[in-house]
Amino acid sequence: MKRALITEAFRSIWKTRSRFLSILAIVAVGTGFFAGIKACTPDMMMTTEEYFKEYNLSDIHLVSTFGFDEKDLAAIEEVDGIVAMMPSYSAELFSDTASSPDTIVKVYSLPLDGDWEDPAFMNRPILKEGRLPQQKGECLVERGKKTPTEFTIGSTIHFRSDEETELSDMLDCDTYTIVGIVESPYYLNTDRGAASIGDGVVDTFVMIPEEHFCYEDDIYTDVHLLVQKPEGLSPFDEDYESLIMDYSERFEALADVRTVARYNEIMDEANAELADAKEELAEGIETQQRELADARQKIADAEQEIADGEREYWDGLQTFQEEIAEAEQELLDAEEELAEAETKLADGEKELQEGWEEYYDGKAQLDEGEAEFQSQKAAAEEGFAQAEAQLAQLKQQLTDAENGAAVLPSLIETLKQQLSQAEQSGMASEAELQMLRDSIKEQEQNLLAAQGAVQQLPPVIAGIETQLNEGRAQLADAQQSLHSAAEQLRQGRKELNEAQKQLEEGRAELEEGKQELADGWEEFYEEKAKAQQELYDAQLKIADGKAELEQAKIDLAEGEAESNAEIADAQQKIADAEAELADVELPEWYIWDREDFGGYASFRDDMIKVDAIAAVFPVFFILVAALVCLTTMSRMVEEERTQIGTMKALGYSEGAIVSKYLIYSISASLIGSILGLAVGFQLFPQIVIGVYRTMYTIPDPMTPFRWDYALWCTLAAIACTAWAALASCRKELRSCPAQLMRPKTPKAGKRVLLERIGWLWKRLSFTYKVTIRNVFRYKRRAFMTILGVAGCTALMVAGFGIRHAIGAIVTRQYGEIFCYDGIVALDEAETEEKDEAVRHILNHELVDSGILALQDSATVSNGQKELEIYLVVPSQQEGLEDYIVLRNRKSHEALSLQEDQVIINEKLSKVMGWTVGDTIDLSYGELSGSAQISAITENYTLNYVYLLPSAYEAVLGQSVDYNTVLMDMTDPAQESRLSKELLENETILGISYASSGNEKFMDMVNSLDIVVWVLIASAGLLAIIVLYNLANININERVRELATIKVLGFYDKEVSSYVYRENNISTGLGILLGLALGTLLEQFALVVVEADDVMFAPDLPLTVFLYSAILTVVFAQIINVIVHFKLKKINMVESMKSVE
Amino acid sequence: MSYVELKDVYKRYQMGEVTITASNGVNFEIEKGEFAVIVGSSGAGKTTILNILGGMDSCDEGKISVDGRDISKYNAKQLTEYRRHDIGFVFQFYNLVPNLTAKENVELAAQICKEPMDAVEVLEKVGLGERLNNFPAQLSGGEQQRVSIARALAKRPKLLLCDEPTGALDYNTGKQILKLLQDTCRKENMTVVLITHNQAITPMADRVIRMKNSKVEEMRLNPNPTPVEEIEW
């Protein structure tokens, strides 16, 4: 190719840059939209796959109602193809916070030292904020929809269990400090699963160090597994699904074996425990009896002791009283005696006084007597002295005689003894003897003489003596009398003195006695008081003893009662345990694969839906883009017709000439395509995934540049524009150079068909005539406009329509068809228990009314296809319309159940090809039969077969066993309270509320809103680019004409409206076409998206069309504004100069 | 004061770094009802003057008064109004709207005036009474120029400005068109300004303004204009 030609090509790009850019833009939008939308699903998959891989999402999650012991784990690990196994713990607990009491928290274990390389560390937390726990007592929380706002880093969480369980059976600690906020790959959406406590719905999850869990017997509650799978197999692939299905079957088989083994183990253990408990109870009873007997004996002893003590007391009291009385008497006696003594003493003193008086009288007499005596005495004394002297002579004589008479016998005797001794001895001479004998005779004569004197003298002496003595005696007598009187006086005085002394002594004694008495009294009182105190003490002691005894008796009674209660309790417990044991069911293993994880299945379904949408919508863009390119290129070739002619005339080959346009078109589409792809691959997945990120917890989307899509898109775009260039050139090149160099004859004006309808044409104003003729004149451009606008409108109709179709499900299914507020599920039970449960439900203050029904999944078949449906058997026809409305969708005519026929829903009839009067095969559990369809009812989600109990019996041959109560609430805001209170009845299994189904769909609708806005924005962009491009072509092509009317003096506004009118008509037609196309597109999209058990609202409300039309008009107006300014800028002089 | 008066009119175009002076102090005047011809070779600045006079362009300096009103100070809107009510244009290439019939092309102009002439009447006047409903493509060049003149006349303009009206026409047709213009001028007392490079046409004018190098070289009155039929070139 010649250099000049290339230069010219690029120069023309620069010169016509706005056209170049418009081709570039439309290609960019077309490819960007197409590739971007197409890339959404793969990007989403890739993002989540990587996410699952990074955070090691388990393939299978096993949960057992009894937990897993070592043997279970060993058995699980032995299953073929298990790559890694993570036994772990979980618990469902409450946490009360100010903002949301009774928050149900799913607590998961987290290995403190989780090895991020270890495949056995599954479902790793994704740290969003804070840090991972490093020690016990720390925990991680999530930022879910229902997570209490108080769960922030640094705050603490307190857990509590429900009444039936002990927190300490699960965890060793109930308070944890939040250190981090995480997400879990296990939960893709906001659904946190079902709980077995509270209102049955888990609100949020918390991860705590594994070490806190303390289930008995080293039981793990959960087992997470990774299975062997081919490298690169997407978890969203069907192969993955079937692979996991295989594993599930294996685990089901394993579960059958393990659960029985485990059951037996548990039963044995429990029975042993029960036996132990019983034994313990028996021992307990024995101990109790013994202890009671002991206690009773002790009480009896104490009673005896108290009785003894009492008796002793009474004895003591008596003794005391007696002794006291005695002592008192004694003291009184002593007092009396003392008084007597005092009297006596007083008498004595009186006597003494008298005595003393007598004495002094006596003394005076005595003194007189003495004086008399003294005088007599002196006289007598003289007579005596004479008598005495005579007498003394005589007495001397007599004494001598007596002496001789007294000594002489003894001398004689001695002499006689000496004579006898001398005679006997013979030795003494006779002289001597005679001498001795003479001495004896002399002596004897002396003796006789002395004796004779002795005999004569005494009477003389005696006479004198007698006289003397008589005198003397008289004197003596007198003296004696005096003496004796004195003596008597003295004696009296002495006596008196003695008496006085005695009296004094008596007084002293008396005083002493008195003192003694006083002392005695004092002692008496002291003793008495002491004794009384003692007695009192004794009394007190007795009273205390009695009180103690009473207490002891009460204690005994209480103790007995208590121990009896304990025993009764223990017995009850044993009975309960026995009953429980009897009720123990086989353990059940729940085998959950990713389908069952939070949001996984709905995420996959959503991705498939996005893919289906992606297959339809971008087609419009591509189509419109292609047409715009074609138009623009042909226009360009037309404009350069003269130049082509010149070139041809200069001898350039056709190829060389065409190459310029090829360069032009290819470079525009290539650059556009690259730009579009670069933006599209980012933008659309970001937006779409962004939308889904509001519903699902997935990381930032990965939006790689997808070379495969890019290549195809670019090739298609290039092919399209290049073909457009070629086709236009070929047409021109067929003409000869001369012809080409002449201006192209302006397109001849032509009458339009409408003009033939004279009456109508005449009525049109001049301007409209012009407009209409123009529209028809520039048919291709009008067609392009119409198509572009139609595409735009159609996309919007589809967007709004899909939104309505899905949104209406919520309002219709849960607002108009299912009018109940909730369904209460009943357990299989005896009739009475069920009746009780039903009463419990219907009598609840929050329940307005209810109807008993059987609702269960069953299967229908039409011979070729089987489909799972829901069987609904209301107990009666009356009042059913308060809960479920059966009606014709179009006419809203109420349908009533026939005695022996069934009503099926619309979607079911469509899927199975059934109409009224057809017979369906129905099988429910073991039962089966066939029934005739009496009517087809409006329904949007799931498939239902409705029949009356009579029909049920007729078809399935058994009476109905109701399992649900459909109910209306008085206050639908109090769902969780109702759940909690209804679940107190054991026959009531659970309550599902219409609102939750409602909410689920509302989420879907909300997310669809964004998709709809994406569609609208894209459609708007498409419309704007197409319209702008066409408007540009329009202006360029007609610049002369427009300049002319400007010269004619048309105001800017008039010039614009001259052009607008055409655009508006095209746009209007485009909108109409778009509405029709959009309806088709919407229907198509719904067919693609619709599942077997969902029917989207098949009608399209006026508003959908209205919104689409209005928005399209808005976009068209935006272009009109741009066109207006473009028109304003047209230079009349310049425009008129050029020659066409 | 004359009906049309240009005084020291300057018009400069900036082409890159070069300033082209298209009108370099143009002065002339035309009286009401005159048939004025502005003649000059290509590039002499006659079209510029016509554009400025017709309100399609504005001058940089100088004063232009038409019927006593100074249009040199008009803004875009006023110029549009001026064109709308006071000016009729006839172009070399007719500039008919191809999608409109002859009658409709006239109506296109007529509908925006205050007191337009009836389209059919005007067309009959220009001799196209039979071809009212033909599209421009169905008309010959002369016929198209007639439509163009009719379109200009329908507005009852104060000035009829013609830019080489015969440039694209053959001799005879050209003559007929000139005749039509002259007749219109005479019969309707229309002030006609005609631009041409053809010196031969000047004798038919009441006033001849000769331009050269963006200036008026000569302006002379022609007391006895020659009828078109007698002019030959």
* 8 A C-beta contact, residue A1057 and residue A1117: no
* 8 A C-beta contact, residue A726 and residue A629: no
Cβ under 8 Å to A: B residues 133-152: 135-138, 151
pLDDT digits (tens, 9 = 90+) for B22-37: 888 888 889 988 889 9
Chain B positions touching A755 (Cβ under 8 A) are: none
Query: How many angstroms separate the Cα of A866 from the Cα of each of A908, A925, A1089?
Result: 11, 14, 21
Mention every residue, 6+ apart, whose C-beta is less than 8 A from residue A778.
A1034, A1037, A1062
Measured between alpha carbons, how far is A484 from A482 in angstroms, rounded to an integer? Answer: 5
Chain A positions touching B98 (Cβ under 8 A) are: 746-749, 1041
* Residue B177 reports pLDDT greater than 50: yes
> Residue A1004: its pLDDT value, please?
65
Chain A positions touching B92 (Cβ under 8 A) are: none
* 8 A C-beta contact, residue A90 and residue A239: no
Provide the 10 A C-beta neighbour count for residue A433.
14
Chain A CA closest to residue B93:
A1139
* 8 A C-beta contact, residue A901 and residue A948: no
CA distance A636 to chain B (A): 21
* 8 A C-beta contact, residue A154 and residue A560: no
**Which of A766, A1047, A1136 is the closest to B83 by Cβ?**
A1047
CB spacing of A749 vs B101 below 8 angstroms? yes
How far is residue A1041 CA from its own chain's centroid?
82
DSSP lists the bridge partners of residue A84 as: A226
Biggest alpha carbon–alpha carbon distance for chain B = 53
Element (H, E) at A187: none
Measured between alpha carbons, how far is B97 from A687 in angstroms, rounded to an integer? Answer: 48
Task: Locate B178 and state its tokens.
Answer: 């000139």
Residue A762 near chain B (CB below 8 Å): no
Residue A770 near chain B (CB below 8 Å): yes
- In the sheet where A60-68 sits, what is the strand order? A82-88, A220-227, A60-68, A589-593
CB spacing of A1049 vs B85 below 8 angstroms? yes
Residue A773 near chain B (CB below 8 Å): yes
Residue A938 DSSP SS3: coil
Residue A103 DSSP SS3: strand
CB spacing of A748 vs B137 below 8 angstroms? yes
As a whole number, mean pLDDT of residues B164-185 equals 85
Measured between alpha carbons, how far is A44 from A31 in angstroms, rounded to an integer? Answer: 19
> Residue A235: its pLDDT value, please?
83
pLDDT digits (tens, 9 = 90+) for B108-129: 888 888 888 888 888 888 888 8
CB spacing of A745 vs B137 below 8 angstroms? yes
CA distance B112 to chain A (A): 7
**Which of B81, B98, B112 is the closest to A747 by Cβ?**
B98
Domain B4-230: state its class: alpha beta
CB spacing of A773 vs B99 below 8 angstroms? yes
Task: Locate A55 and state its tokens.
Answer: 């955070």
CA distance A774 to chain B (A): 7
**Which of A750, A770, A1136 is the closest to B95 by Cβ?**
A1136
CB spacing of B56 vs A1047 below 8 angstroms? yes
SS (H, E, C) A191-231: CCCECCCCCCECCEEEEEEHHHECCHHHCEEEEEEEECCCC
Chain A positions touching B151 (Cβ under 8 A) are: 1048
- Which residues does chain A have with pLDDT short of 70? 1-2, 428, 741-750, 997-1001, 1003-1005, 1007-1008, 1089, 1091, 1137-1140
> Residue B109: its pLDDT value, please?
85
**Which of A750, A1049, A1133 is the closest to B57 by Cβ?**
A1133
Residue B206 near chain A (CB below 8 Å): no
* 8 A C-beta contact, residue A1015 and residue A795: yes
Q: DSSP state, B230?
A: G
Task: Locate A602 and state its tokens.
Answer: 């709905």
Best residue of B97, B103, B104, B162 to probe chain A, by most A CBs closer than 10 Å: B97
Measured between alpha carbons, how far is A338 from A332 in angstroms, rounded to an integer? Answer: 9
Average pLDDT, chain A: 83
Tell me which amino acid residue A806 is. I
What was the ipTM of the complex prediction?
0.89
Tell me which amino acid residue B49 is. I
CA distance B62 to chain A (A): 20
Task: Locate A754 and state its tokens.
Answer: 């409408």
**Which of B80, B98, B111 is the closest to A749 by Cβ?**
B98
**Which of B56, B93, B101 is the closest to A1133 by Cβ?**
B56
| Torsion, Cα of A559, A562, A566, A572 (10° steps) | 140
Task: Locate A43 and state its tokens.
Answer: 């990007």
Mention every residue, 6+ apart, whose C-beta is less than 8 A from residue A129.
A153, A180, A181
B159-163 vs B191-196, strand pairing mode? parallel
The candidate with the shortest Cα–Cα distance to A82, out of A108, A59, A110, is A59
**Which of A774, A1047, A1050 is the closest to B99 by Cβ?**
A774
The candidate with the shortest Cα–Cα distance to A702, out of A689, A716, A713, is A689
Residue A543 near chain B (CB below 8 Å): no
**Which of A745, A777, A1132 is the closest to B99 by Cβ?**
A777
Measured between alpha carbons, how far is A882 from A851 in angstroms, rounded to an integer? Answer: 9
Residue A935 DSSP SS3: strand
Residue B97 near chain A (CB below 8 Å): yes
CB spacing of B112 vs A1050 below 8 angstroms? yes
* 8 A C-beta contact, residue A563 and residue A288: yes
**Which of B51, B104, B112 is the closest to A770 by Cβ?**
B104
Measured between alpha carbons, how far is A287 from A568 in angstroms, rounded to an integer? Answer: 15
Burial of A900 (0-12, 13-18, 19+ CB in 10 A): middle
How far is residue A1071 CA from its own chain's centroid?
60
Chain B CA closest to residue A776:
B99
Measured between alpha carbons, how far is B80 from A1046 in angstroms, rounded to an integer? Answer: 8
Residue A765 near chain B (CB below 8 Å): no
Best residue of A762, A1044, A1125, A1134 to probe chain B, by most B CBs closer than 10 Å: A1044
Residue B100 near chain A (CB below 8 Å): yes
Tell me which amino acid residue A314 is. W
Element (H, E) at A12: helix A3-15
Cβ under 8 Å to B: A residues 1031-1090: 1040-1041, 1043-1052, 1054
Dump strand ranges (E) for A482-608: 589-593
Residue B104 near chain A (CB below 8 Å): yes
> Over the Cα atoms of chain B, what is R_g?
17
Residue A768 near chain B (CB below 8 Å): no
Chain A CA closest to residue B155:
A1048
Dihedral sign, Cα of residue A297, residue A301, residue A303, residue A304: positive
